[in-house]
Chains A and B, each alone.
Chain A
Amino acid sequence: MNAIKNFNKAILPKFKKSLYFEGLRQLRIGGIVLAVLVALGSAREYLGNISFNTKGAFPLRYSLIQELPIVFSDTAWLVFFLCAIFAVIAAFTLTSFTRSAKARDFYYATPHAGGTLWLNFAAACLTWIAAGAGSFLLVSCLFLMPFDAKIFGVCLFIACNVLAAVFMVFAMAMLAISLTGRLINALVNLLGLSVISTCVKIAFSEGYNVVYSSFHLLVPSSELYGYDPVYHIYRRVFFDYGGSELIEFAPEYAVFASWSTVGYCLLWGCVMLAAAAFFMTIRTGDSAGQPFVNKAAHVISLTVDYLPVAVVLAMILREATLSIRDGGIVIDGQSIVNTLIVLLIIFGCCWGLELLLTFDVKHSHRSFMLMPIPIALALIIMAVGYFDSKAEFNTTPTADEVESFTLVRNDSLPDELVMFRLRDTLGRWVTDETEIKDSAIIEYATAQLKDLSDRYGDNFEKAYQGRFSMMDYDNAPIRDGKKLISIRLNLKNGKRITRLIGFDDEHITALQNVFLNNGEYMKKFLALPSADQVNAVVDEAYGLTREETKAIYKSFLKEYNALSDEEKLAFMREAMELSYRMNSDEVIEGEETPVQTVTPTDISLISKSKEVGQYGIVMSYLTENNENYGPSLTIAINGYPEGHLYEYEKWYDYSLSVRSKQFPKTVALIVKTCNAKFADAQKEFKASAEKQKKLDYRTDELSVAYITRSKTLNVRYILIIGAKQEESVLNFPGNKAMYLSDDEPETIIKEVEVDSDAMVKELFADIQSTETIDFTRPYACVRWFNSVDDDFTVYTFFAQTDFPDAAA
């Protein structure tokens, strides 16, 4: 007994400084290259973003803060990718003694247990990975902290996020390695573990229902499950990291809501690393080069390796043998034939995998014996899905059984309810804290649920009865004319269930009224933060300073607070109409501002195109001169309470349109402030006017649009002198002259590529001989973005006009 005790004690992994440093030393080149690549890659992304922002119409500081999720998602993905690749390569490099007999003979003959070697080398790998993440943190701080020192918290958090995700990848690689003595088996293990990690993540994430049903297993529809954040460990884990999903679904949450992701990655990573440590501790040198190191590892390896096969099999079995309806597809045919095909596929998979794992053609018939593994796993998956679905069908409460319900927050609330989630703090209040007890709505919701359950339940049973024809299924449209909202029903027996219910217009209005009639909610909803609470006021129009916009905001607040609740609500609704948008990159002309009312006859001057703020000036000018809209200033307010920079849910996010009719004093202040800005712009433009006369149309910085009447031709024409700029939305396709009809000024008669110096000179001569340009008057410009595939054509026109005087 003592011997066993001593033996175990002796082989327990120990930290040895010398071995740890040896690991660091062996990886030093890779580690340093990683840190440098991460630093350069991050720097490049940041420079790109800063460069992009300086070219845009936004003040750099605030736009960067505003776009942090995008900035970080671009950068963090790159860092994750580099670090993850390094982690896998480093893990395989330092554990060569588990696979190569030569390395085994060296390392296992040292006075260190295999577990000790593994532990110290793993620590070395992690240190270099941490150095990579540290390099990312350093560069992030260097580039972003000058804009706001509080960004450090966000930078640190993102670095932790990346580190945790890479840690999980590393742990996966280590476990994959520890289970076998061969490279190919380790790689297959890694693939299997990746699938398992994704499944675990799916099971605990918001994507649970969506992904689950898209696997076409046994879940008939996500409607039955709703979108329930109860399952959340929030959204971002390893595989989401691999793509743009970091921000794709909800930029407003993006990286800021993923402490839970860090937790998941660390926890799951630790579990895998502990398992790896266990297997490394009990394995001996004999196993190097062997497919399986011991019986336990053999069983785990096979399960891990066969899991992806089993998932696919579950899908095929369901489709081919049970004819389950999925996505409207039903496979017609004989069940026996389909079953035989499935069995053939299973055997093919098993045989291929066995061959891959053992390289033993002679004994690959053993794969027959392995067939039960994927079949059993597939059946387990199907059974779990079946009983899970059955349980859902059977939970269809009546209106009497429902105490109340709450809205479940997600990104697909219909527009009518969008205003109720305008701010995330309110969004939480709406979804988590407001129990709706309106009996009519509950009656409606439960009736919808019953109908839903009946239809799917019926289809479900038919599927298991082996009905193959689409006609057998009740495909009556459930969503038509309705808006889908996830609700959580709180039953009288204490149980809570979440379902996705289609609401018609009448009941959407009823839902709206629930909130409108709630005094406590409206009080919260209509209250705006004070100017002192707001950390960043972003003016996207006039290029105003923070102080100027704050002053305008203060004036606005004063007038706003004097309004009645009805007036405030009306303002809020209108503001929403005007400023609602998905993403700051997606500025759609004509929707956000009524620029379509401009005709070419309004445009009388030419100028450079990239003056910061000009676009906004014209937008504002056009808006102010449009009788439908009246003068307005759109101000986006992004704020965060002290100490909550990385908790995006606590950020303020308003977009306000200020109108003269409602807020005359504020508008007067806006006009005064903006005219002062125009004066500055005039001075600046005067200085550049001289340069304008010496146009060098070939420089990258240049892009000029002329609209004028030709001296020689009896048509108007616009000459676009463009310059190609890579990697920017301001990507000019080239130089072009467009001839416009005199009678119909908006009609382009023909377009000519301007591809020679002589032609440019000729066109310039033509223009300069017709009109005189007064650069000293206030000017404004507007851009049209024409998008064909990914190529943007930017047309820039400048309008010269007198802006409304402040006094007026």
Chain B
Amino acid sequence: MINATNVTKKFGDLTALDNVGLTVETGSVFGLVGSNGAGKSTFMRAISGIYRLDGGSISIDGRDISQGPEVRNKLIYVPDDLYFIPNSNMDSMARLCANSRTDFDEKLYAELSDKFEASRKKPIRTMSKGMKRQAALILAIASKPDILLIDETFDGLDVIKRHDMKEILCDAVADRGLTVILATHSMREVDDMCDTIAMLHKGRITLQSELDEAKTVLCKVQIAFPDTFNQDAVEFEGAGIVNFKCDGTVATVIYENGREEVERQLKAKNPLLMNVLPLSLEEVFIYKNR
């Protein structure tokens, strides 16, 4: 289990992470979503031990990461901007991984390379962006980590490979309790894979919950009245309207409140029509952080 408490990281005058606290359960797939510059990558690097924290602490299975590099023995970070040794190929990178980590599985590496038809001898610098990402993921998975942090998870992968990679990750989670943290802009990936999500905005956590719960933190309602109306008509005390879109006598409204309260309040206004619509994760992200 990864436990972050009041994590603060500053770069000069900029506070990249501001008292961030969250918990990632072992064997879960955790989605970290946020706008550009929200602090996702900084947080990933903080967990990886790359950055020294200015405040707070991060522990992995109860051991503070500041206790030394051994704490992150079973952790692998796949950054957005990938590193490969100059003029290396996948095999030479595999040897680097094998030399710098204890559990690198040569057999698994060979299997995954075959499965993804990766050119192991081809210089990585000549590969496309997607192929590089694929190579990095193969190497990371073959290192058999307990915790895998992936920044911009499947950026550049085609649909089929993306699907296969997801499957492999999910299998690893199911089979050996791999914990995955995905930092991404893609809500679809999070929707597809994650059990839990956290939303980061300007260095702060704006939401952390189970995926399904996350979609209910807001309430989207389609409502109609006999005559044309404005936002005041659907307002009530503590309504917290984050979006109001009216088309004649029908409007779509998103409330910060829970579904029960909204339904109760709106029914009291005798609308012609009232439907509670499902919210996408993207909508939650947009309206939660706007």
Instruction: Determine, out of A20-28, A165-173, A457-465, A753-761, the stretch whose residues face the partner at the interface.
Output: A20-28
Given contacts A105-B45, A284-B52, contact A18 B68 (CB under 8 A): no
**What per-residue 1/0 map shows which CB atoms of A108-130 lie under 8 Å from chain B?**
11111100100000000000000
CB pair B83 A25 closer than 8 Å? no
Q: Provide the residues of chain A in CB contact with B75, threshold 8 Å.
A: 109, 111
Q: At the interface, yes or no: A295 with Cβ under 8 Å from chain B?
A: no
Chain B residues positioned under 8 Å from A9 (CB to CB): 68
B68-87 interface bits toward A, Cβ cutoff 8 Å, 1 = contact, 0 = none: 11111101110101110110
Compute how far the CA of A101 lies from the CA of B44 in the bound complex, rounded to whole angstroms.
14
What residues on B are CB-neighbors of A113 within 8 Å?
Answer: 68-69
When distances are taken between beta carbons in the complex, the residues of chain A under 8 Å from B77 are 105, 109
**Complex alpha-carbon distance, A26 and B85, angstroms:** 8
Which 7 A-B pairs have CB atoms at the shortest separation, nearest pair first?
Answer: A10-B68, A285-B50, A22-B99, A106-B83, A102-B83, A109-B77, A111-B73
Given A109-B77, A112-B100, A285-B49: 10 more A-B contacts, CB < 8 Å: A18-B98, A25-B95, A25-B99, A26-B85, A26-B96, A100-B83, A101-B81, A111-B72, A111-B102, A116-B69
Q: Does B70 lie within 8 Å of A109, measured CB to CB?
A: no
Give min CB distance, B6 to chain A, whole Å.
17
Q: How far is A112 from B64 in the complex, measured between Cα atoms in Å?
A: 15
What is the CB-to-nearest-CB distance from B190 to chain A, in angstroms, rounded to a whole number? Answer: 22
Shortest CB-to-CB span from B88 to chain A, Å, is 9
CA distance A184 to B20 in the complex (A): 36
B67 at the interface (CB under 8 A from A): yes
> Which of chain A's residues have a CB closer than 8 A to the CB of B76?
109
| Known A100-B83, A102-B81, A285-B51; contact A21-B99, beta-carbon cutoff 8 A | yes
B51 to A10, Cβ gap below 8 A? no
Taking beta carbons and an 8 Å cutoff, which residues of B are in contact with A? 45, 48-52, 64, 66-73, 75-77, 79, 81-83, 85-86, 92, 95-96, 98-102
Q: Does A270 contact B (CB under 8 A)?
A: no
Interface centre among B52, B67, B73, B83 (most CB of A within 10 A): B83
Residues of A within 8 A of B83 (CB): 100, 102-103, 105-106
28 inter-chain pairs at a CB distance below 8 angstroms, sorted by A residue, are: A3-B64, A6-B67, A10-B69, A10-B70, A18-B99, A18-B100, A19-B99, A25-B92, A25-B95, A102-B81, A103-B83, A105-B45, A105-B81, A105-B83, A106-B79, A108-B48, A108-B49, A109-B49, A109-B72, A110-B101, A111-B70, A111-B72, A112-B69, A116-B69, A284-B50, A284-B51, A284-B52, A285-B45
For the complex, give the distance between the alpha carbons of A100 and B76 in Å: 19
Asked if A286 is at the interface of the complex by the 8 Å CB criterion, the answer is yes
Contacts of B70 in A (CB 8 A): 10, 111
When chains A and B are docked, how far (Å) is the Cα of A107 from the Cα of B49? 11
**CB–CB B79/A102 < 8 A:** yes
**Docked CA distance A717–B205 (Å):** 103
- Docked Cα-Cα span, A227 to B227, in Å, equals 109
How far, in whole Å, are A285 and B51 apart by their CA atoms in the complex? 6
Nearest-neighbour CB distance to chain B for A288, whole angstroms, equals 9
Q: A105-B81, A111-B72 are in contact. Are A286 and B52 (CB under 8 A)?
A: yes
B-side binding surface: helix, strand, loop or mixed? mixed
Whether A109 contacts B67 by the Cβ 8 Å rule is no
List residues of A whose CB falls within 8 A of some B CB: 3, 6-7, 9-11, 18-19, 21-22, 25-26, 93, 100-113, 116, 284-286
A100 to B81, CA, bound (A): 11
Taking the nearest CB of chain B, how far is it from the CB of A617, in angstroms?
A: 61
Most chain B CB within a 10 A radius of its CB, from A19, A22, A105, A116: A105
Complex CA distance for A105 and B96, rounded to whole angstroms: 14
Complex: A303 Cα to B84 Cα, angstroms = 35
With a cutoff of 8 Å between Cβ atoms, the chain B residues found around residue A11 in the complex are 68-69
Query: With the chains together, A668 CA to B49 CA distance in Å?
Result: 88
Q: CB within 8 A of A10: which of B67, B86, B98?
A: B67
Interchain CA distance A366-B102 in the complex, whole Å: 48
Interface core residue of B70, B71, B76, B100 (most chain A CB under 10 Å): B100
Q: Name which residue of chain A comes closest to B68, CB basis.
A: A10
Could you say which residues of chain B place their CB within 8 Å of the CB of A111? 69-73, 75, 100-102
CA distance A105 to B149 in the complex (A): 12
Shortest CB distance B129–A (Å): 14
- How many Å lie between the Cα of A116 and that of B73 in the bound state? 14
Residue numbers in A under 8 Å from B85 (CB-CB): 26
Q: Which residues of A contact B73 (CB under 8 A)?
A: 111
Given that A102-B79, A109-B49, A286-B51 are known contacts, is A22 also in contact with B69, CB under 8 Å in the complex? Answer: no
Contacts of A3 in B (CB 8 A): 64, 67
- Nearest-Cβ distance from residue B270 to partner chain A, whole angstroms: 59
B65 CB, nearest partner CB in chain A, Å: 10
Residues of A within 8 A of B49 (CB): 108-109, 285
Chain A min CB distance to B132 (Å)? 12
In this complex, which of A21, A105, A109 has the most chain B Cβ atoms within 10 angstroms of its Cβ? A109
| Cα distance, A116 to B68, chains bound together (Å) | 11
Please give the distance in Å from B115's CB to the nearest CB on chain A.
24
Count chain A CB atoms within 10 A of each CB in B45, B70, B86 and give the residue with the most.
B45
Complex-state Cα separation, A18 to B70, whole angstroms: 15
A106 neighbours in B (Cβ, 8 Å): 79, 83
Shortest distance from the beta carbon of B244 to any chain A beta carbon, whole Å: 43
Residues of B within 8 A of A108 (CB): 48-50
| Complex interface: chain A residues within 8 A of B95 (CB) | 22, 25
CB distance from B261 to the nearest CB of A (A): 45
- Name the A residues within 8 Å of B101 (CB-CB): 110-111
Q: Which residue of A lies closest to B96 (CB)?
A: A22
Report the separation of the CA atoms of residues A34 and B92 in the bound assembly, to the nearest whole angstrom. Answer: 21
| A116 proximity list for chain B (CB < 8 A) | 69
Q: Closest approach, in angstroms, between the C-beta of B64 and any C-beta of chain A?
A: 8
Q: How far is B79's CA from A110's CA once the two chains are assembled, in angstroms? A: 13
Distance between A690 CB and nearest chain B CB, rounded to angstroms: 62
Given contacts A18-B99, A21-B99, A110-B100, contact A105 B79 (CB under 8 A): yes
| Alpha-carbon gap, A599 to B79, bound state (A) | 87
Chain B: CB-nearest residue to A20 = B99
Given contacts A19-B99, A21-B99, A22-B95, contact A102 B68 (CB under 8 A): no
A625 to B267, CA, bound (A): 138
Cα–Cα, bound, A146→B96 (Å): 44
Which residue of chain A has its CB nearest to the CB of B82? A102
